[in-house]
Structure 1
Amino acid sequence: MPVLQSLDGPIVWVVDTRNTPGSCEEWDAWLTERERNRAASFKFERLASFYRAVHAGVRLHVAALAGVQPNQVAIDQLPCPRCGSVRHGPPSLVVEGTRLHFSLSKAQPYCAFAIAPFPVGVDVERGDASSIAGELASDAFTARELDAIRAHGPHEALRLWVRKEALVKARGIGFADAPSKICAIDDVHACEDGTWHVRDIVQGEALQVALCVPLERAEAPVCVKAP
């Protein structure tokens, strides 16, 4: 627990869920009733298993860091920064009374998640999603971003999309504003709720991962645990 209590910057895990130890039965014992119901709602078992592996994996990795058991790691939600509702607020993580900001992103079979003592957003996409990101260009990117995509190709569309996702997750509002109103080329973004800093933390053919934190925390140390 002292590790989490003294945390001064984000820790980011990038995980291949195919390596999550245990079985669905074991994982279910760590999940909340809401999470178990969500897993049971998937039409295809492979999607249900992926969901369980992600949410169990979060607990396994954080528990190992904190020196506790996986069932002592709880995932819940903070109030929405705009309306105060906890039904769609940003997620948080609680370990034996210590609450941390938490962000989770999925790109089957991978996931990325981050914890921090301040708001944090992380997003991951597989490299083979570049063509999909490119197809979004007409209504998901600003004119400046479209120029960059034309110059650098579909992978630039994916990189920018991941940065947008990280930004809105850190803000805790999702895409309440249209994606085309958010320009993710620059690292610093001044918004109505503050100024944010976004960066690429994993760039490669296989995966693209971006992280966003408040600008005043941009110099905080970032620990990335990637395969």
Structure 2
Amino acid sequence: MATYLEIPVGEIVLGRKPCPGCGSADHGPPALLGPGTPRDLSISHSAGLAMLAAAPFPVGIDTEAVRDIPVANISGNVLTPRERLSVLAEPEGIARTKAFLRCWTRKEAVLKAVGIGIVTDLTLLETRAWSEGPAEVTVDALVAPSTWRVADVPVPEGWAAALALPAAAGRDVTVRHL
């Protein structure tokens, strides 16, 4: 990260930005607090895979390890009706779990980019994970922008990952393995 930001390692100060909902720094999104840089950060880790997204605009990243998840039992609480239909159309087992995690990581990436995390009704956030390629997702949130572009991130077998950035950013994403 120090090389990318062109900042000596000893000068990097990580912390949190204020929560866009309530203003508290106790649970706001991760932030690069010093030295001054125009970069926003998002961090995610799951079962041995860690990811960091840095951009000159709000960004969100999420990764999840593929594992046994009771998809049929929890999908009604976190997926939109169309997402649920798509996920439950997959055969039980790994295919269904991967479809669920594709929706989940997209949702969490968008909410991290917005800066609010999972404090909203996830059944209202549709990620269009059933279609190939990036999707535009609109969030009814307290902060701008409200429309985000979310896409899957290539990761090793055994994980799912997604990245969200403002739809207006109009930039391609570079993934670097460190």
Instruction: Report the TM range for the smaller structure's normalisation.
Output: 0.7 to 0.9
Q: Distance in 2 between matches of 1:71 and 1:132?
A: 40
Distance 1:83 1:161, change over 3 A: same
Q: Distance in 1 between matches of 2:70 and 2:172?
A: 30
**Post-superposition offset of 1:99:** 4.4
Contact 1:94/1:100 (8 A) holds in 2: no
Which one has the bigger helix percentage? 1
Corresponding residue for residue 88 of structure 2? 150
Which of 123, 128, 140 is residue 185 of structure 1 equivalent to? 128
TM-score, structure 2 length as denominator? 0.82
Q: Indicate which of 20, 24, 49 corresponds to 1:81.
A: 20
Q: Which amino acid aligns with 2:78?
A: A
**Which one-letter code corresponds to 2:151 in the other structure?**
R
- Max radius of gyration: which structure? 1
Residue pair 1:93, 1:99 contacting (<8 A) in 2 also: no
Counterpart of 2:39 in 1: which secondary structure?
Answer: strand
Report the Cα distance in structure 2 between the residues aligned to 1:182 and 1:64, rounded to whole angstroms: 35
Structure 2 stretches lacking a partner, 5+ long: 91-95, 130-134
Give 1:94 deviation, angstroms: 3.8
Identity of aligned residues (%): 32
Q: Which residue of 1 aligns with 2:4?
A: 65
Structure 2 residue 64 is matched with structure 1 residue 132: no
Matches within 5 A, 1:87-98: 87-98=26-37
Distance 1:202 1:145 in 2: 21
Deviation at 1:96, TM superposition (A): 2.9
Q: Compared with structure 1, are the counterparts of its residues 170 and 209 closer, same or farther at alpha carbon in structure 2 (3 Å cutoff)?
A: same
CA displacement at 1:151 relative to structure 2? 2.0
Partner of 1:170: 113
CA contact (8 A) 1:133 1:158 kept: no
Which residue, 161, 173, 177 being the options, matches 1:222? 173
3-state SS of paired residue (2:89):
helix
Alignment match, 2:93: none
**Is the contact made by 1:123 and 1:211 (CA closer than 8 Å) also made in structure 2?**
yes
> What's the CA shift string for 1:97-145, capped at 9, x where partnerless?
2242110111021111111111100001123x2x326253131212111
Work out the number of aligned pairs and report it: 163
Structure 1 residue ranges, 4+ long, deviating more than 4 angstroms after superposition: none
Distance 2:6 2:168 in 1: 30
Partners in 2 of 1:94 and 1:133 — Cα distance? 39
Change (3 A) 1:211 1:133: farther
Letter in 2 for 1:215: A
C-alpha RMSD of matched pairs (Å): 2.0
